[in-house]
Amino acid sequence: MKTSNLLGLNARTQEYSYRYNKAKGRRIASSKLYTKKTLAKSGIPVPESYAKFTKPRSILNFDWTALPGSFVIKPNTGLGGEGIIVVKKRARGREGWITTKKSFVTAPDFQLHVLDILEGAHSLRNEPGVAFVEEYIARHKAFRRYSYRGTPDIRVIVFNKVPVMAMLRLPTKESGGRANLHQGAIGVGIDIATGITTHAVYHGKYIKYKPGTKRKLHGIKIPFWTKILRTSVEAQQASALGFVSVDFLLHPEKGPMVLELNYQPGLQIQLANRAGLKKRLERVEDLVVRDADHGVNIAKALFMAHFADRVRAKEGVRTISTFEEIKIKGTKRGQRKKVIAKVDTGAWRTSISEGLARELGLLEPANVLWTKQVKSALGQEERPVIGLTFWMAGRKVITPASVAKRMALKYQVIIGRKNLKGFLVSPEVKK
């Protein structure tokens, strides 16, 4: 990979975090309560708040037993999961609670912790802080076997209304239930197009299995994937931040909830995805994105991981012929159409004839990713580029495809080099 594809800390801060994020958005992101308030106003699901403490007086008479059995105490500011107590249940037979770290705590412990927060132990420059209590979100069953005690979170980086990169963060024993990579959590890259995990990074090194087990970390399917992507774009729009990472928790029943926004996301996500963030950011920088759905469609078409990254490369390289039958997905539910496509290693991008695209409903505005200027015999022309999903030799491919008006109409689809990774093209023509 070229180093110019990678985003470094200098470029992140200067070219993205500060250029695209206004002071108001940054203020929203640096306060967890303000984030929650802003997002909830736009109808984005966030964990429910039970109580908020701004003055030491309010804490003294607070009745902790009136809370549900499990809850989380947090400082309003504070990075990297600092100063958070996660209470899992009431202790049996004793006056107190059990935390996710399996230690026993009592109401005076909570009081002291909240007073610490108010005193500024977890805020920048020791300014007086604010503490709050919110709903505890249990682990979704999809992650039950992968994380240690704490709840894993999903981070999506959004830029210009397009989700550009995503990562699953799994707490380990070492990270003490916290989903922070610096504290020893595992980062697992997620394929934007399918929501399937790809590579895992632990302390800056690639690992295949969860440490100490034989449990594979790639190939995990994230539930509610499209909803997560759409919500991440909505959260970006609501917060007025141009370049932001949105952290999600998966509620076992209610689905994805936004936990936090961060306008200076860490860059390890590039390792976990084996992809450069800068290249992706530059790719979407100038696109005109209408709404969340449009942004998600663009992301899925642009950033699909290589097949070999998503699933084990056991089956190896597939051989296809120059004229290969493919199955195209239409916009109506369950609509599929089989056509013979021409595999053209001389073309870069895949293209589809206008007639076929219209027949399958692919020219609907939500599916048009962007338009491009084309010079032809008739002069300048605008042609749409659409999101196309098809199956070829048993593999699903999601890609941008240009719509061609005047093709030699023998083949309505031409598959370009861009989508031929992991395939061998046999020149023999089957009769």
Partner 1 sequence: MKGFLLGLAFFFFFTPNALAQTMEPVATEEAEATLSGEPAAVPRQDFTRPTEETRGPLEEILYEQELGPVWPANPVKYAIRSSVAAGVPPNTIVLLLLLPVVAAIIAAARHTIGLRGFGIFLPAALSVVFLAVGPILGIGLFLLIVFVSTYARIILRRAKIKLQYLPRMALILWAVVVGVLLLLFLAPVINAPELTNVSIFPVLILVLLAEDFSKVQLGKSARTAVAQATETMILSLISYVFLTLETAQAFALTHPELLLLLVALFNLLIGKYVGLRFIEYWRFRKLIKS
Encoded tokens for 411: 């083949």
CA pair distance 287, 110, nearest whole angstrom: 49
Stretch that binds partner 1, among 8-16, 37-45, 47-55, 156-164 (CB under 8 A): 8-16
Can residue 107 be called a binding residue for partner 1 (CB under 8 A)? no
Q: Are the C-beta atoms of 169 and 185 separated by less than 8 Å?
A: yes
Judged by CB under 8 A, the residue of 54, 58, 183, 331 near partner 1 is 183
Can residue 115 be called a binding residue for partner 1 (CB under 8 A)? yes
Q: Which amino acid is at 42?
A: S
Can residue 173 be called a binding residue for partner 1 (CB under 8 A)? no
Can residue 9 be called a binding residue for partner 1 (CB under 8 A)? yes
DSSP annotation of 406 reads S
CA pair distance 264, 219, nearest whole angstrom: 28
Residue (of 66, 75, 72) closest to 85 by Cα position = 72
**Residue 400: which residues within 8 A CB-CB, separation 6 or more?**
298, 301, 302, 349, 350, 369, 385, 386, 387, 388
Judged by CB under 8 A, the residue of 1, 91, 340, 424 near partner 1 is 1
The b/e string for 188-218 (b: 16+ C-beta within 10 A; e otherwise) is: bbbbbbbbbbbbbbbeeeeeeebbeeeeebb
Binding pattern for the stretch 327-366 against partner 1, x by CB under 8 A and - elsewhere:
----------------------------------------
Judged by CB under 8 A, the residue of 182, 221, 290, 406 near partner 1 is 182
Which residues within the stretch 253-292 sit at the binding site for partner 1 (CB under 8 A)? 267, 270-271, 274, 276
- SS3 sequence of 81-133: CCCCEEEEEECCCCCCEEECCCCEECHHHHHHHHHHHHHCCCCHHHCCCCEEE
Binding pattern for the stretch 14-43 against partner 1, x by CB under 8 A and - elsewhere:
xx----------------------------
> Which CB, 81 or 152, lies closer to partner 1?
81
Stretch that binds partner 1, among 2-10, 131-139, 147-155, 333-341 (CB under 8 A): 2-10
> Which CB, 206 or 323, lies closer to partner 1?
206
Helices 292-302 and 277-285: crossing angle, nearest 10°?
130
Binding pattern for the stretch 70-89 against partner 1, x by CB under 8 A and - elsewhere:
--------xxx-xx------
Can residue 317 be called a binding residue for partner 1 (CB under 8 A)? no
Beta-bridge mates of residue 379: 376
Residues contributing to the site for partner 1 (CB under 8 A)? 1, 3, 6, 8-11, 14-15, 78-80, 82-83, 108-109, 112, 115-116, 119-122, 180, 182-184, 204, 206, 267, 270-271, 274, 276
